[in-house]
Structure 1
């Protein structure tokens, strides 16, 4: 249990530093931006209590908001991602895995499960982020274009980050 906490603290510091130092300045014509800091929320242990998940998600978004000078937009989007994560695990993860503290990664859960988990979670996060950021439906097509392109961009970066630390393990369950 102690090693899981230390691993997640190191992962959090690494991902936030990458986001703030590198990915904050990367974008494509103000339409596609990348937010790979959400990778930290994806990799939190499966058996984490919901209240702790929401608290960690909120604090992660709040720290990113502090660096981006935004007013709680990332915090709200991260809490929405935490809600998606709970829902996704409830419908796709077997009962005995829900109690474990396994990290849902590519090597543990399998490619199909992990790709759908990351892409749909990224889409939900970005859609909520851009919708709250613009706070209007008048430019809905622009918001959807930004959401789709940013989701693809962020998913690619997250998969590259995951492949850098990919450990080949036996697959757990039939997911």
Structure 2
């Protein structure tokens, strides 16, 4: 990563954090669907990033969000879980020719089919971890499933809208 990419990544993490904490914290559809847009930031980091640095980034981002949500580490645990499983999932869905180097895995760069197959299972894993930890000690499993599924769809749709509006198609350097 060159210095320009590092600065852009730091700016991106700060921007996603601010949007999550100031705007999306109170946005809940039908009392069930929550939007955790910071998950999209973790998914859009370059494919070449190693698991441990990604887990550190996820920890910092999740912990920062936990501070403002007063959620006692639930965002941190869920974000680190997503970061841990991202690289193996990318390995599973890698096409025969591989990926272009330094190409971000965005909707515009990879296409709708690939991005759907890449992001939805990881978003679902994050949300399932989040709501499972949130509901520990209760027997409210049916509402947990509804929250997980509706929040996954909501986060994915908002993530697609953000990418279409604010991201450019970019190829490797």
Normalized against structure 2, the TM-score is what?
Answer: 0.90
For residue 41 of structure 1, what is the aligned residue in structure 2?
42
Q: Judge conservation of contact 2:37–2:158 (CA < 8 Å) in 1.
A: yes
What residue number does 2:64 align with? 63
SS state at 2:71 partner: coil
Aligned equivalent of 1:97: 99
Deviations 1:88-147 (A, max 9, x none): 11111257538x332111122221111222222111110100001111462111110000
- CA–CA separation in structure 2 for the residues paired with 1:66 and 1:13: 15
Q: Deviation of residue 167 (structure 1)? A: 2.3
Distance (Å, rounded) in 2 between the aligned partners of 1:96 and 1:127: 29
After the TM superposition, which segments of 4 or more aligned residues of structure 1 sit over 3 Å from their partners?
Answer: 94-98
CA distance in 1, matches of 2:134, 2:74: 6
TM-score scaled by length of structure 1: 0.89
Mind listing any 5+ residue stretches in structure 2 that lack a counterpart? none
Cα separation, 1, equivalents of 2:66 and 2:107: 28
Matched, 1:153 2:168: no
Structure 1 equivalent of residue 24 of structure 2: 23
RMSD: 1.9
User: Where do 5+ consecutive residues of structure 1 fail to align?
Assistant: none
2:59–2:76 CA contact under 8 A, matched in 1: yes
Aligned to 2:140: 139
